[in-house]
């Protein structure tokens, strides 16, 4: 489908677009003014099944999300945004685009319906979306990495040379191996960011799902150099369960500046919108977030949430032929059409801080409500009040601690390592602890470790010939913690600009919606017009930079030791 002709500047002032951001815990929708990006209304919906911990088993690294959480959240947030905005805005909605976590794929039948929405599969975790941080397919990823070495063509060359258990093919084979009922009923395997536009446009044939180049190139091994996906023989010789599966997937891909179609009559009625509304091709949250945060060539755009996604764009002709080892892929057009999009990231960032908070909250969760000193209602209020203040207090007290070379030291692999060189078997570690190691000191070591992990990504780009000349901070952590951002600048020895928008992912989706709807000829034009700018800047402290450099070397040595021990234990298990 071709996008409509560009709208005039006068018409832009009466045009609005919807950006939908599916995160790990919730979905957020915003209505933005297409002329200037101003947020008109916003709505958040927390996934009820996910909140209860249903279908997940952290002990086995299984994290699944029910498609009903997504569908309910999609309808609720858009309807609430429209109700808040009023009819004058609602009747002028021109486009909707979505971003999601990824790789978060699901098994669908021939109609493109996730199996978990069908009778008999409602409570089956294998019939649900396999969330990005699900690591149940570590074995399959290791097999694929070994299997790929048998072929004259390196089919992993555009995903950094290492395939991750967080990605499309490893998760597919794991589900097929584990669940005969799913194996019998599956027709295709679809990323969350591709399924939502298909849903909104009323699709009923899985073969017609339009796949975005973002998900296809970074997670599914699609590449122009291969004329699509690797050949079926590559997968079927890995495991016969994959025989013929590529024929049920896709060959063509689309950029997020293109339209998936128009809002279907059914969804137009559900939302109270017109079928004239254009639905854009979907992408991952970090990719659209980078656009919402006004990414620039050779500036690492860091979307900092539960994990981090680090995005870098560069002119294709300037980086052509350079393959960066150990990152999450480099795909032309995956972030901005016409530019090379490169992705890296950390498997745990905000999640690492949340883990520590939960650790020290144990008495509040397990003892406070059983006390006889105060009644239960008061105990719950005390618990909630203290919980709200823990991170603020930790940040404040950790920031006040002096920096010494022999401080406590940590490695940040609480959820494995995404980049550089994906290895989800790796574990975190703390060293240098003694009887003076209190909560603020341990928290400081953990924050430092996440900053060192971020530094490793910058170093890898530079080692592979890709310059990084600036940092852009996006997301909740970047906005809420000056302590962490100042440490990031000190460890990186580079300034970091913090984007003004609280919702860069949803805003980026809105920019792509405006482009797909024809309001702007290019997403760069939408980004320039709708971008909100920057409201904070952190400069490195020249007194701390040399100390952090020494501690970074110690972090590297400790990480190498941990990785060596992990390899040793794995070999013993084999």
pLDDT 10s digit of each residue in the chain, 574 long? 444 444 555 568 789 999 999 999 999 999 999 999 999 999 999 999 999 999 999 999 999 999 999 999 999 999 999 999 999 999 999 999 999 999 999 999 999 999 999 999 999 999 999 999 999 999 999 999 999 999 999 999 999 999 999 999 999 999 999 999 999 999 999 999 999 999 999 999 999 999 999 999 999 999 999 999 999 999 999 999 999 999 999 999 999 999 999 999 999 999 999 999 999 999 999 999 999 999 999 999 999 988 899 999 999 999 988 999 999 999 999 999 999 999 999 999 999 999 999 999 999 888 887 777 888 888 888 888 998 899 999 999 999 999 999 999 999 999 999 999 989 889 999 999 999 999 999 999 999 999 999 999 999 999 999 999 999 999 889 999 999 999 999 999 999 999 999 899 999 999 999 999 999 999 999 999 999 999 999 999 999 999 999 999 999 999 999 999 876 665 555 4
Q: Which two tokens stand for residue 268?
A: 């137009």
Q: Which domains does the chain have, with CATH numbers?
A: 9-293+501-535 (3.30.420.40), 350-500+542-573 (3.30.420.40)
Q: How many C-beta atoms surround the C-beta of residue 568 within 10 A?
A: 10
- Bond prior to 182 in cis (omega within 30° of 0): no
CA distance linking residue 495 with residue 399, whole number of Å: 18
Residues near 19 by beta carbon (within 8 Å), at least 6 away in sequence: 29, 30, 32, 96, 97, 98, 99, 288, 292, 503, 505, 506, 507, 508, 509, 510, 511, 512, 513
Structure confidence at residue 570 (pLDDT): 57
d(C-alpha 378, C-alpha 322), whole Å: 61
pLDDT at 395: 96
Q: Give the per-residue pLDDT at 3.
A: 45
**Predicted pLDDT of residue 425:** 87
State how far the Cα of 455 lies from the Cα of 460, in Å rounded to an integer.
Answer: 9
Distance CA 409, CA 430 (A): 6
Distances (CA, A) of 563 to 24, 427, 508: 28, 8, 37
**Cα angle 329, 332, 333; round to 5:** 110
Distance from C-alpha of 217 to C-alpha of 345, rounded to nearest angstrom: 16
Dist. CA 224–CA 220, nearest whole Å? 13
Q: How far is CA 173 from CA 136, 189, 293, 391, in A?
A: 11, 10, 35, 40
The span from the CA of 248 to the CA of 187, in Å, is: 7
pLDDT (0 to 100) of residue 416: 92
Q: How far apart are CA 185 and CA 398, in angstroms?
A: 53
Predicted confidence at residue 476, as pLDDT, reads 86
Q: What is the pLDDT of residues 276-309, one digit of tens each?
A: 999 999 999 999 999 999 999 999 999 998 889 9
Rounded CA gap, 188 and 113, in Å?
Answer: 10
How high is the pLDDT of residue 502? 86
């Amino acid at each position: 489908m071709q996008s409509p002709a560009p709208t005039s500047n006068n018409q832009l002032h009466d045009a609005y677009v919807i950006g939908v951001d599916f995160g790990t815990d919730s979905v957020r929708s915003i209505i933005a003014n297409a002329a200037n990006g101003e947020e008109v209304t916003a709505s958040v919906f927390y996934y009820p099944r996910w909140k209860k911990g249903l279908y997940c088993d952290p002990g086995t690294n299984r994290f699944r999300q029910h498609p009903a959480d997504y569908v309910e959240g999609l309808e609720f947030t858009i309807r609430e945004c429209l109700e808040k905005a009023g009819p004058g805005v609602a009747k002028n909605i021109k486009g909707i685009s979505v971003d999601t976590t990824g790789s978060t794929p699901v098994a669908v039948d021939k109609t493109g319906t996730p199996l978990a929405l069908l009778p008999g599969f409602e409570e089956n975790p294998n019939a649900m979306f396999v969330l990005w941080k699900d690591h149940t397919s570590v074995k399959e990823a290791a097999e694929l990495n070994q299997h790929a070495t048998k072929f004259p063509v390196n089919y992993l060359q555009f995903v950094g040379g290492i395939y991750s258990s967080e990605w499309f093919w490893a998760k597919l084979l794991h589900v097929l191996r584990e669940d005969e009922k799913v194996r019998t009923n599956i027709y295709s395997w679809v990323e969350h960011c591709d399924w939502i536009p298909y849903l909104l446009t009323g699709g009923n044939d899985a073969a017609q799902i339009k796949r975005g180049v973002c998900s296809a190139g970074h997670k599914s091994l699609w590449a122009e150099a291969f004329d699509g996906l690797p050949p079926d023989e590559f997968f079927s010789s890995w495991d016969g369960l994959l025989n013929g599966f590529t024929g049920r997937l896709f060959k063509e891909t689309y950029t997020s500046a293109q339209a998936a179609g128009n809002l279907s009559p059914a969804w137009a009625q559900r939302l109270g919108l017109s079928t004239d509304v254009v639905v854009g091709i979907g992408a991952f949250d970090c990719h659209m977030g980078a656009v919402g945060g006004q990414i620039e060539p050779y500036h690492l755009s860091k979307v900092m949430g539960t994990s981090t996604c680090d995005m870098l764009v560069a002119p294709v002709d300037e980086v052509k032929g350079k393959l960066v080892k150990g990152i999450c892929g480099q795909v032309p057009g995956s972030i901005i059409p016409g530019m090379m999009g490169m992705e890296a990231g950390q498997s745990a960032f905000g999640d690492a801080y949340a883990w520590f908070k939960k650790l020290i909250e144990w008495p509040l969760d397990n003892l406070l409500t059983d006390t006889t000193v105060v009644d239960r209602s008061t105990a719950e209020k005390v618990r909630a009040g203290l919980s709200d203040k823990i991170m603020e207090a930790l940040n404040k007290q950790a920031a006040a601690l002096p920096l010494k070379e022999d401080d406590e030291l940590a490695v940040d692999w609480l959820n494995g390592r995404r980049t550089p060189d994906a290895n989800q078997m790796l574990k975190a570690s703390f060293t240098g602890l003694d009887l003076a190691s209190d909560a603020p000191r341990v928290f400081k070591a953990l924050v430092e470790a996440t900053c060192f992990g971020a530094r490793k990504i910058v170093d890898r780009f530079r080692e592979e010939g890709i310059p990084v000349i600036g940092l852009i901070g996006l997301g909740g952590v970047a906005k809420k913690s000056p302590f962490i951002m100042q440490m990031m600048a000190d460890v990186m020895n580079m300034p970091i600009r913090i984007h003004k928008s609280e919702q860069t992912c949803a805003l980026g989706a809105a920019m792509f919606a405006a482009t797909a709807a024809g309001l702007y000829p290019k997403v760069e034009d939408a980004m320039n017009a709708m971008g909100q700018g920057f409201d904070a800047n952190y400069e490195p402290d020249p007194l701390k930079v040399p100390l952090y450099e020494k501690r970074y070397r110690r972090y590297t040595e400790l990480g190498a030791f941990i990785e060596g021990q992990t390899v040793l234990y794995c070999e013993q298990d084999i």
